[in-house]
Amino acid sequence: MKYKSQKVAYWFFAFAMLLLVLQIVYGFIMGFSRVGYDVLHDFIPFNTARAVHTNLLVVWLLTGFMGAAYYIIPEEAERELVGIKWAYVQLISLAVVGVVAVVGYHFNYWEGRKFLEIPRPLDYLVVVNVLLFLGLILGTLFKSKKRTTTALVLTLGLVFAALLYLPGMIWFDNQTTDSFFRWWVVHLWVEGVWELILGGILSFLLIKLTGVDREVIEKWLYVIVGLTFISGILGTGHHYYYIGAGKMWLIVGGIFSALEPLAFLGMALFAIAMYRKGEKKHPNKIALNWTIGTAIVAFVGAGLLGLAHTLPQVNMYTHGTLVTAMHGHLAFWGAYAMIVFAFVSYAMPNLTGRKLYETARGTYAFWLANIGMMGMTVGFGVAGVAQVYLERKMGMEFGDVQNEIKVHFYIVIACAAMFATGVGLYIYEFIKYGKPNDEALIPENTPDNAALV
């Protein structure tokens, strides 16, 4: 690292890892409920586990993004973060809000709107927290003379993500209107502005890891985020097919959703092309694995598997079935979890000075987690497709169908165990790195590709 204030990123990463562990635990609770072992029903019924599972996902990813931003922005702006103490205050307050929300879910303290379960009073605290975060990031950028495209795209993503949280905080009497705006938050986050964050982080990593010229990488970054928004904004229409909105969304949503994989394809081709173009590779093989991996798995999970059920004719049958869970798992993993893992793998040696660039543990972590998640995706997919045919085509009762497809959840659980082992190894490696220290500081004017030469 070049700036002392970058050290705060470590604590964000550590908190993110902790939440991820909890997310996985709650995932297992749900998995076991599905095969009949809902032994915790009295304390943690399925809807509690589900709210915890998805909210922890959102919070740990955002925590990871924030950590990445606190690392990237000083380096791109070439100065220390402003008000570094406030960054720690922000983390602690975020943790407090997160803990209160998660505990609250166990006591019926929530707002039952998928992904936005955080109760309204806590929403206001989230807003204050995010404003503080943005204040520090923007303050640092304004005080610097240097404006890079990577920093701009990352910051735009973070600012829009904050703005888009607001439509989710309005009460509507009409369920359709409520749902309509809920997707402004959820869809425009994950298939819109979060991709800017993903693109910004990916671009930073590629600049550092491949040694390709910044101008080339940033040019393609604009093309990719351009494709993301052009397809993703009107692609919101695929959530409006069957919730009481007009039929024109079937056409517009169908066409633009079909274009959404292009952005991810672009990203995958771009990452691979830059990797091949880079003549000198960074010795941090594990970070490189995760970086190229995120681009490819995002294309498969978010791009292709999304396309698999966004055509209106298909979605009519798959909407509200386990097919969505199939797509959701690999999409979030590939596009967002893996980019955080990539960034943490890149940043840890620089923060701590320990160069665990190509350990067996790190390599196993990568493959076990990825193969495990692929297996889970297949399990959800088989269960989902069977559900579609039995329930929607053949007219079997929901509960009967669930009993028929139960067997696939044993596969999901087995694969989840493999996935969890991979993640466990990754976190063990994270702990092995130890804490960040000032001895890892390198001179400010060290070039981007210093480690390569």
Partner 1 sequence: MLLSKKNARVFFFGGTIVTFAVFIVMSVQTLVKEVPVKTHEENLSKEVIAGKKLWEANNCMGCHTIMGEGAYYAPELTKVYERRGEGYIKAVLQSSVPWSPRGRKMVAYNFSDREAEDMIAFFKWIGEIDLNGFPPKPEYKINKNTK
Residues 47-106 that bind partner 1 (CB under 8 A): 47-48, 50-51, 105
Give the interface segment with partner 1, choosing from 59-67, 107-115, 280-288, 297-305 (CB under 8 A): 107-115
Interaction of residue 236 with partner 1, rule CB under 8 A: yes
C-beta separation of 305 from 331 below 8 A: yes
State the SS3 of 119-186. CHHHHHHHHHHHHHHHHHHHHHHHCCCCCCHHHHHHHHHHHHHHHHHHHHHCCCCCHHHHHHHHHHHH
> Closest distance between partner 1 and the C-beta of residue 344, in Å?
28
Amino acid at 403: N
How many distinct helices (H) and strands (E) make up the chain? 16, 0
- Residue in the structure block whose two tokens are 């995760």: 290
CB 94 within 8 A of CB 63: yes
Contact between 446 and partner 1 per CB under 8 A: no
DSSP structure class, residue 325 = H
Least gap, CB of 242 to partner 1 (angstroms): 3
Q: Could you tell me the two tokens for 429?
A: 């490696």
Question: Per CB under 8 A, does 244 bind partner 1?
Answer: yes
What 3 state SS string does 263-318 have? HHHHHHHHHHHHHHHCCCCCCCHHHHHHHHHHHHHHHHHHHHHHHCCCCHHHHHHH
Q: How many residues does the chain have?
A: 453
- Is 325 or 417 the residue whose CB approaches partner 1 more closely? 325
Residue among 239, 237, 235 nearest 249 (CA) = 237
The nearer residue to partner 1, 171 or 439, going by C-beta atoms, is 171
Least distance between partner 1 and beta carbon 9 (Å) = 27
Sites for partner 1 among residues 350-369 (CB under 8 A): none
Number of residues that bind partner 1 (CB under 8 A): 80
Question: Is the sign of the CA dihedral 389, 394, 399, 404 positive or negative?
Answer: negative
Q: How far is the CB of 435 from partner 1 (least distance, A)?
A: 38
Considering only the stretches 58-66, 73-81, 233-241, 429-437, report the one whose residues sit in contact with partner 1 under the rule CB under 8 A.
Answer: 233-241
- Residue in 21, 25, 28, 45 binding partner 1, rule: CB under 8 A: 45
**Which residue, 27, 30, 51, 28, is CA-closest to 41?**
30
Output the smallest distance, CB 265 to partner 1, in A. 16
How far, CA to CA in Å, does 291 sit from each of 53, 301, 361, 420?
25, 15, 17, 20
The C-alpha angle 275, 297, 181, rounded to 5 degrees, equals 120
Closest approach of Cβ 394 to partner 1, in Å? 5
Of residues 267-296, those binding partner 1 (CB under 8 A): none
Report the residue number, 253 or 362, with the smaller CB distance to partner 1: 253
The secondary structure of residue 40, as a DSSP letter, is: T
Q: Which residue's CB is nearer to partner 1, number 7 or number 327?
A: 327
Give least dist CB 171 to partner 1, A.
9
Q: What is the amino acid identity at position 237?
A: G
421 binds partner 1 (CB under 8 A): no
Check residue 204 for interaction with partner 1 (CB under 8 A).
no
250 lies in the binding site for partner 1 (CB under 8 A): yes
Residue 191 found at the interface with partner 1 (CB under 8 A): no
Question: Which residue, 186 or 425, has its beta carbon nearer to partner 1?
Answer: 186
Site for partner 1 in 325-354 (CB under 8 A): 325
Q: Does 397 bind partner 1 (CB under 8 A)?
A: yes
Q: Contact between 41 and partner 1 (CB under 8 A)? A: yes
The Cα 379–Cα 252 span in angstroms is 31
Minimum distance from residue 260 beta carbon to partner 1 (Å): 12
From 76-84, 227-235, 288-296, 298-306, give the range in contact with partner 1 by CB under 8 A.
227-235
Sites for partner 1 among residues 121-180 (CB under 8 A) = 149, 173-180
Phi-psi bin for 300: left (phi > 0), alpha (psi -120 to 50), beta?
Answer: alpha
Out of 148, 321, 370, 449, the residue judged to bind partner 1 by CB under 8 A: 321
Kindly indicate which of the ranges 70-78, 236-244, 274-282, 338-346 contains the residues binding partner 1, using the contact rule CB under 8 A. 236-244
